[in-house]
Amino acid sequence: MTIPHPDLTQTVLDACHTLAGFTTTPGRITRTFLAPPTHDVHAFLTGWAQRLGMTIRVDAAGNLRCRWEGNGPNAPTLYLGSHLDTVPNAGAYDGILGVVLGFALVETLGGRRLPFALEVLGFSEEEGVRYGASFFGSLALLGTAGPMLELRDAGGQALRDALTEFGLDAEALPSAEIAGNALGYLEIHIEQGPVLEAAGQSIGVVEAIAGQNRLDLTFTGRASHAGTTPMLLRRDALAAAARFVVAAEELARSTPGLVATVGMMDVKPGAGNVIPGEVRCSLDIRHARDEVRLAALPGLLASAEQFATERGVTLAVTPKMEVQATPMHPQFRALLHQAAADAGLAHPELVSGAGHDAMVMAARMPAAMLFVRSPGGLSHHPDEAVLNEDVADALAVGERFLHLLAAEGGMHGL
């Protein structure tokens, strides 16, 4: 098939590349929350919004919010976007692509009005790098970002003061909350994983953002001499922990959709000829459905306890984080599937294993995500990439989604 909007696709890619140059570390892409180059990002995107005739606002949370009003003063608002901040040494597409495509989708309208307004959102903070907590931007739209104002970054600066330094008014934060009638939120984002690439498909519809538990496990045995301690007199903390790693992998492999990862493991004392006396490790377990995840976790921890007990090792488990799954809105998902089918594209459903602003927005309005294939599954890496034709596909699906929503939105009671 021919690529729809080839010029606009190139505009999107060019914009991503231009924005990648607005960084605090030359030669790398690093633009954490409220970093000075964010002003350049706003200026660039504002220029585009002005050319499109949009109304422009940077809210008190530092979110860029550009509106293309709908037909009539009471038209509800469809939010389109993603985040403008990055991790250190990032790629050029995580977050950014979704914001830029928001403007491109307004451009596809060619000046037409829809039965709903479009508000393109460039969230100021999603990655959680600077303040160790995520989603300040989207939480501000829900009116729940206030408690984060007192967080301090590594340099000791309060988030409140960072807003002031950027030229914003922290006291006005409540004014960032969405006031009017919200139709929903659509976020287009790179997949950040290998599923679409493995399936040979350009785009996918997100079924849900996975819920997750993160825990720390500490196995405590007794360090002793690797030569003089017979196997049955050992209290080997690593032998127990290794069984746990194996069990986590087996459980996840045998439970469709479950992912379980032991990413951190610290072995003490850590000498080749000394039996490990203590092992601290992490567990990260995720699934699209909370009941599956929550059914799997206790059995896995019971296994860990058993592996420890069998070896005279004790186990301490410390929960670090729990996030419930966020199903995407069924009618928005259906519209995305229809839009992709209309565009002649395969449209698999997949789960987002990573968190996104859509997770926050879903608490207030119907939310949906469209994923774009990530070559090599890479993200948070300078080699993060997209294929031009995949961006064209995403643009085509988004455009068709707007038309379907315009035609059907009222019927669905959205």
Distance in Å, CB of 215 to a second copy, minimum: 9
Token duo for residue 2: 């021919």
Angle at 60 between CA 58 and CA 66, to 5 degrees: 25
Report if residue 113 touches a second copy, rule: CB under 8 A. Answer: no
Report if residue 294 touches a second copy, rule: CB under 8 A. Answer: no
Which C-beta is closer to a second copy: that of 106 or that of 394?
Answer: 394
Which C-beta is closer to a second copy: that of 198 or that of 363?
Answer: 198
Give the DSSP letter of residue 154. T
Q: Measure the CA–CA gap between 367 and 331, rounded to whole angstroms.
A: 10
Report if residue 90 touches a second copy, rule: CB under 8 A. Answer: no
What proportions of the chain, in percent to the nearest 5, are helix, strand and coil? 40, 25, 40
Report if residue 295 touches a second copy, rule: CB under 8 A. Answer: no
Report if residue 242 touches a second copy, rule: CB under 8 A. Answer: yes
Report if residue 292 touches a second copy, rule: CB under 8 A. Answer: no
Q: How many helices (H) and strands (E) does the chain have?
A: 11, 16
Strands (E) across 324-412 are located at 326-327, 349-352, 367-372
Q: Measure the CA–CA gap between 106 and 378, rounded to whole angstroms.
A: 29
Token duo for residue 338: 């229809």
Nearest to 279 by CA among 271, 287, 288, 269: 269
Q: Measure the CA–CA gap between 388 and 199, rounded to whole angstroms.
A: 18
Distance in Å, CB of 168 to a second copy, minimum: 30
Distance in Å, CB of 190 to a second copy, minimum: 10
Which C-beta is closer to a second copy: that of 36 or that of 270?
Answer: 270
Q: Which of 109, 133, 158, 274 binds a second copy (CB under 8 A)?
A: 274
Token duo for residue 367: 């939310």
Distance in Å, CB of 300 to a second copy, minimum: 14
Which neighbouring-strand residues pair with 118?
A: 68, 78
Q: Measure the CA–CA gap between 394 and 396, rounded to whole angstroms.
A: 5
* Residue count, binding to a second copy (CB under 8 A): 61
Report if residue 195 touches a second copy, rule: CB under 8 A. Answer: yes
Give the DSSP letter of residue 235. B
Instruction: With contacts defined by CB under 8 A, name the span among 51-59, 138-146, 262-270, 393-401 that binds a second copy.
Output: 262-270
Q: Which of 261, 303, 314, 338 binds a second copy (CB under 8 A)?
A: 261
Site mask for a second copy (CB under 8 A), range 377-406, x = bound: xxxx--------------------------
Footprint on this chain of a second copy (rule: CB under 8 A): 191-195, 198, 210, 212, 214, 224-233, 236, 238-239, 241-243, 245-246, 249, 252-253, 258-267, 269-276, 282-284, 286, 320, 352-355, 377-380
